[in-house]
Structure 1
Amino acid sequence: MLPSSRRLWALLPLLPLLLLFALAGCAEREEPASASAGGGNGFPVTLRPSGAPEVTLEAAPERIVSLSPSTTETLYAVGAGEQVVAADDQSTYPEQAPRTSLSGLNIDPEAIASHNPDLVIVESDLENKLSKALAKTGTKTLVLPAPATLRDAYTQFELVGKATGHAKEGAELARRTEAEISKLVADTPKTELSYYHELDPSFYSVTSATFIGGVYDLFGLRNIADQDDPNALGGYPQLSAEHILRADPDLIFLADTNCCGQSADTVAERPGWDTLTAVRQGRVVAVGDDIASRWGPRLVDFVRTVSSTVRDAGR
């Protein structure tokens, strides 16, 4: 059974990880993402994203279309917001982002081209169909797949900065984000508490083999969705209510508050859930649908919420 269409987009930013996991077993490890610049202003620059084709930009793009909510956030964070002329329908942050009906799922090259971009950024481009179509108009396509690790996310901040003529700001964003997350982790006592991360009310979750699960791993938390194989189902299993009740998680994190109206109160009203340790001890925490499913600069907010919850549980 697939997640409801209502939650599909919350999962989509993470689904490219499934491909990464599949390829990891049959391909040699790729070189880390990087960029090399020529001229004194940083251009031309050749960008080499991990898991995607390299792209050479001759000059700083003036009209950018972002079809990745995470990248939209990063573009504004590095100071390239004024260069963004269109963003996809899921780019809800920041508020001033030029959100349109463009879709990063059902990509329409003609609709994208109507915005006259000189750079388009997407999360995936199967068989390079988009890049080939846009190349006919002289538009470059930069593919930034979902990162597998925090380090990959920091590297993408740097790449976005270099791609837009804001290399210094991109490097600073990566440095600052890493420093803030490292401090939060260092200041939080390690624990062996168990947790359940909810993607939607039908009990889709994430395992420790995912990017999200990796964040929880930083704090030593034990994922009840791992079961016998964290990699099963690409790391996005649908659990049963019976399994969750048996596992009795110490902490519950809700990433379906905005989409689906879930809260500590609605969780407590589910049959039998009022007996769970997390419910009885008031440890059902909203993490924000978008924040917990993206790898932009607000990743720090997600880590801060987990850190605060773990510290409170240890008191």
Structure 2
Amino acid sequence: MNRLRKPTIRKAALLLLGMAMLLLAAACGTDKTENGNGRAANQAAANNAANGANGGANASGEPAANQGSAGGEAGAAAKATVYPLTVKDATGTELTFDAAPQRIVTLVPSETEIVYALGAGDAVAAVDSNSNYPKEAADKPKIGDMNPDIEKIVSLKPDLVLASYSLSQAVVDKLRSLKLPVYASDPKTYDAVIDKIKQIGAILDKPAEAAAVTGHMEQVRQQVTDALKDAPKPNVYLEFSPGWTVGKGEFLDELITLAGGTNVATEAGWYEIDPEAVVKANPDDIVYASMTVKEGEKNPILAAIESRPGWKSIHAIANNNLFEVDQDPLTRVGPRLADGLLDVAKKLHPDLFH
């Protein structure tokens, strides 16, 4: 049993209920792009994207074509998609596209941000109600959140639906039963997010833009890795919903490692913590998620952290090493994950970043 887990643990269904709204943006694992007629050309595009690791694209969700020169050079080398294109998503489902999709519905914010970052925002027909970035996405028609309006989605006649399978399995299965083309993903690592963006770029005939976006993500990771090469690794406790932490097998656990820390939660997945066990773990730093609150109110996660019995003796609290981070770039598995990585690295190692 993990030292941070409560002796009585809620079942997986409760975990999904407790965390679903926070992680609604998490979406997407990818597999290889396959194409009977154009496999060589599409493989070349993927290779060119990988070679663009030093690209200067911005992870903000702006069109990649408008970003830095190195990423632009990598993007320019990428070959256009050859159709028909067959891909396999995280569920093993094969989808074949005869042309770039022109009516896209996104069920999670991460996929919305990817489409806009690739410069395909004009093809978005509707988004989930939590998609608030970039600004243009917030103005699109809404199809709901965890329980989207299936009839509305069908009425939009999408030629591509982008979804997170781990958060909306029932929705994905229902839409597929209605013969809609659903690409479902569920990445658990930084590299898996990069691979997903490249594959969506191939589907949308945006390989150059995908090369620029993923090149920037790889560049940021290398920047952080180089800066932290000889740095000490503080023990870090994460809390992204009151009383819940995240351990092995999730991208946030890997992100803490990349940012130069050691996650004190060593069990897999998201789970409710045992407060006394966190005291025993005695983390050097505590990272918690920002939350929308009324003026004058305290972040409920911070309030919970500061009020738990015995927690004032924890090094992180005694030394005021409590760091609030913007949850969206860290819980949306898209281009802005690079921004989240850099933010956490700067919080844990402020002297190494200028």
Tell me the SS of whatever aligns to 1:253.
strand
Deviation string for 1:167-189 (max 9, x for gaps)? 21112211221121121122124
Instruction: Report if the CA contact (8 A) 1:264-1:285 is conserved.
Output: no
Distance 1:117 1:131 in 2: 12
Distance 2:209 2:312 in 1: 47
What is aligned with 2:252?
212
Distance 1:60 1:6 in 2: 37
What is aligned with 2:158?
117
Distance 1:285 1:99 in 2: 33
- CA positional deviation for 1:108: 4.0
Aligned sequence identity (%): 27
Tell me the SS of whatever aligns to 2:183.
strand
What is aligned with 2:107?
67
Question: Does residue 289 of structure 1 match 2:322?
Answer: no
What is aligned with 2:175?
130
Query: Could you tell me which of 16, 21, 31 is aligned with 1:9?
Result: 21
- CA positional deviation for 1:275: 2.7
Distance 2:105 2:201 in 1: 15
Instruction: Report if the CA contact (8 A) 2:235-2:283 is conserved.
Output: yes
What is aligned with 1:247?
281
Distance 2:270 2:81 in 1: 43
172-181 vs 217-226, which deviates more?
217-226
Amino acid at match of 1:44: P
Tell me the SS of whatever aligns to 1:285.
strand
Question: Does residue 194 of structure 1 match 2:235?
Answer: yes
Instruction: Report if the CA contact (8 A) 1:292-1:302 is conserved.
Output: yes
Query: Could you tell me which of 177, 185, 188 is aligned with 2:217?
Result: 177
- Assess, with a 3 A threshold, how the Cα gap between structure 1 residues 112 and 285 changes in structure 2: closer, same or farther: same
Distance 1:54 1:94 in 2: 30
Instruction: Report if the CA contact (8 A) 2:227-2:352 is conserved.
Output: no
What is aligned with 1:23?
none
- Assess, with a 3 A threshold, how the Cα gap between structure 1 residues 32 and 51 changes in structure 2: closer, same or farther: same
Question: How many residues end up aligned between the 2 structures?
Answer: 290
Instruction: Report if the CA contact (8 A) 1:216-1:306 is conserved.
Output: yes
Structure number with higher relative contact order (C-alpha < 8 Å, ≥ 6 residues apart): 2
- CA positional deviation for 1:264: 5.3
For residues 1-315 of structure 1, what are the structure 2 equivalents within 5 Å? Answer: 1=10, 2-3=14-15, 7-13=19-25, 32-36=31-35, 38=38, 42-97=82-137, 98-103=139-144, 105-124=146-165, 125-126=169-170, 128-133=173-178, 135=179, 139-143=180-184, 145-188=185-228, 189-201=230-242, 203-226=243-266, 230-231=267-268, 235-258=269-292, 261-262=299-300, 267-312=305-350
- Assess, with a 3 A threshold, how the Cα gap between structure 1 residues 273 and 48 changes in structure 2: closer, same or farther: same
Tell me the SS of whatever aligns to 1:56.
strand
- CA positional deviation for 1:164: 1.4
Tell me the SS of whatever aligns to 2:249.
coil
Tell me the SS of whatever aligns to 2:245.
coil
- Give the alignment's TM-score, normalised by structure 1: 0.81
Tell me the SS of whatever aligns to 1:9.
coil
80-89 vs 258-267, which deviates more?
258-267
Amino acid at match of 1:247: A
- Assess, with a 3 A threshold, how the Cα gap between structure 1 residues 236 and 5 changes in structure 2: closer, same or farther: closer
What CA RMSD, in Å, does the superposition of the two structures yield over aligned residues? 2.9
- Assess, with a 3 A threshold, how the Cα gap between structure 1 residues 146 and 48 changes in structure 2: closer, same or farther: same
The runs of 5 or more residues in structure 1 that have no matched partner are 21-30
- Assess, with a 3 A threshold, how the Cα gap between structure 1 residues 219 and 128 changes in structure 2: closer, same or farther: same
- CA positional deviation for 1:100: 4.6
Distance 2:92 2:204 in 1: 18
Tell me the SS of whatever aligns to 2:161.
strand
- Assess, with a 3 A threshold, how the Cα gap between structure 1 residues 180 and 6 changes in structure 2: closer, same or farther: same
Distance 1:245 1:52 in 2: 42
- Assess, with a 3 A threshold, how the Cα gap between structure 1 residues 238 and 41 changes in structure 2: closer, same or farther: closer
- Assess, with a 3 A threshold, how the Cα gap between structure 1 residues 59 and 122 changes in structure 2: closer, same or farther: same
What is aligned with 1:26?
none
Instruction: Report if the CA contact (8 A) 2:237-2:287 is conserved.
Output: yes
